Structure 1
Amino acid sequence: MRVLVVFIKELVESFIRNFRLLFSRAKSNHINTVLKETGIVKIDGFYTKQECKKLRDRIDDYIERENTNLWVDDSGADHRVYFINEIDDEFNKFYEHPQIREGLLNYTGCSKPSGMLLAARIDAKEGNLGSGGGWHRDSPIRHQFKAVCYLSDVDTNHGPFQYIKGSHRKMDVFMTYLLGVFKTGQYRFTKDEIDTYLNKRSKEITEFTAKEGAVAFSDTKGIHRGKPISKGSRYVLFCYFWDGAIPKHFEKLRQR
């Protein structure tokens, strides 16, 4: 019965999204094709080294300010400044960048989203869970477009964005329910559950390692996490978009 309810919700989501795409200015291109197929696509050289350095310094400055509405995880590793686009024009340029908005439109059909930009620095500290606090989906039903920009070089030790390609696709989601790998509507997962999923669905984890200035477009309905960081610091920007109102639980994180 629960699987049937989820199936109906998925159909409604598909209808709404395809309806928007049909009547929008959305266009098909290589980036959008790869994103639909795998759930993630990388674009190198979005920012120069100089631009990355400038934005890293600004993030450090906001983290140190007493009046910043700063979110920090329990390990003291992950430092986040939500809604930074509303208080700093330099970050707002990224949030409103035409290439990002084009990617959003082509994938979701949404031309006037609600949203925000998150600027973050995560430091290597013992016991950190990585950015995002472990394996998860942003939504178990809705396909969601997110742009992720590295402002520092990120290799396997610097907490790279990890993604399981194809896990955003509706058929894959249904198969996990039918195989009993995940519960219907589940959006957070243990390591054992992920290991079982990888084995039963013949999947593997992709690490988004890249030089500073690279951007990834991702459907965060797919299963992902920030790998626990073991060396140095990782600076990153996350664009969040919704086709409706911003979820209420984010309001307490808005800059004042």
Structure 2
Amino acid sequence: MFKLRSYQRLWRYQYKRLSNHLSLLSDPVLRQVITKGYAVIPHYWDSARCEKARLAIDSLLSTPQVKVWRDPVNADERIMGADRLSPDLDLIQDPIINRMIERLYGSSDLAKFTLAARLSAVKGNAGSGQGWHRDSAFVYQFKAILYLSDVTQETGPFEYYKGSGNALSMLKFERDYGFSVDQNRFTDSEIEQTNLKHVQQFCANQGSLLLVNTRGLHRGKPILFGKRYALTNYYWPSKIPEHMQSFVN
């Protein structure tokens, strides 16, 4: 009975979003986000602007008054609401990004902020996001991720399981691998039993912009060397989740 209710909820939600998503298929960038779960726009920011943003993040992370979320080993450091603290980190007002995100959601009435992050190569780190996960089991969540440093295989690239945010793929994961349609977190061993050729790794130069459907399976790969800097725009169709509100500056 529980699974039946989950399936019904999923398909009701999909039906509500169907007409909006069909209207996006004529746009080459948004079509990729809807079908594959991601799109990459290179050279969105230049290197000088990225450097200013990195310096701003370093400065804010050393400022006691700034609220910072940190993982258990202090590798993943996040400033939520960074757009409110520094003009160099204000990605949330970008009109081009906002136009694309609003079309994906089918709404301009969104709660939102920019998260600024520094990921460091600390022994035992789980990478950005603390392993494989979905941001939401049912509801679409779209994000804009801007690399502020060059990202290689060693510096914790974003990884995404192609197409995994699509409803049919979610049902296939449950049938083939036992992943419940309402499951949010996944172990490495669970992911390794799947077809790993569908895992896309995003190594790219600073200034690259990723638009992502984070209902799909994704993670930041554990970082092995140096530091990775990024800005991420978060959006919600109603309000910022309660578990995050206490960390927002």
Aligned to 1:241: 235
Output the CA distance in 1 between the equivalents of 2:207 and 2:177: 40
Q: Which of 81, 88, 91 is the matching residue for 1:90?
A: 88
Output the CA distance in 2 between the equivalents of 1:51 and 1:152: 11
Unmatched tracts of structure 2, length 5 or more: none
Deviation of 1:99 (Å)? 1.5
Unmatched tracts of structure 1, length 5 or more: none
Query: Are 1:170 and 2:167 an aligned pair?
Result: yes
Deviation of 1:123 (Å)? 0.5
Output the CA distance in 1 between the equivalents of 2:85 and 2:230: 17
Q: Which of 43, 46, 54 is the matching residue for 1:45?
A: 43
Q: Is the 8 A contact 1:26 1:109 kept in 2?
A: no
Aligned to 1:65: 63
Corresponding letter in the other structure for 2:239: A
Q: Is the 8 A contact 2:177 2:193 kept in 1?
A: no
Corresponding letter in the other structure for 1:209: C
Q: Which of 176, 179, 185 is the matching residue for 2:176?
A: 179
The secondary structure found in structure 2 opposite 1:85 is helix
TM-score by length of 1: 0.92
User: Measured at CA, do residues 26 and 105 of structure 1 come closer, stay the same or move farther in structure 2, by a change above 3 Å?
Assistant: farther
Deviation of 1:197 (Å)? 2.6
The secondary structure found in structure 2 opposite 1:116 is strand
Aligned to 2:222: 228
Q: Which of 183, 186, 189 is the matching residue for 2:186?
A: 189
For residues 27-72 of structure 1, the C-alpha deviation after alignment (integer angstroms, 9 at most, x for no partner) is: 8410011111110110001100000000000000000111111111
Output the CA distance in 1 between the equivalents of 2:153 and 2:176: 31
Cα root mean square deviation, aligned: 1.8
Corresponding letter in the other structure for 1:83: G
**Aligned-residue identity in percent:** 33
User: Measured at CA, do residues 90 and 10 of structure 1 come closer, stay the same or move farther in structure 2, by a change above 3 Å?
Assistant: same
Query: Are 1:218 and 2:212 an aligned pair?
Result: yes
Q: Bigger CA drift: 7-16 or 47-56? A: 7-16
Deviation of 1:88 (Å)? 2.4
Corresponding letter in the other structure for 1:72: R
The secondary structure found in structure 1 opposite 2:195 is helix
How many residue pairs get aligned? The number is 249
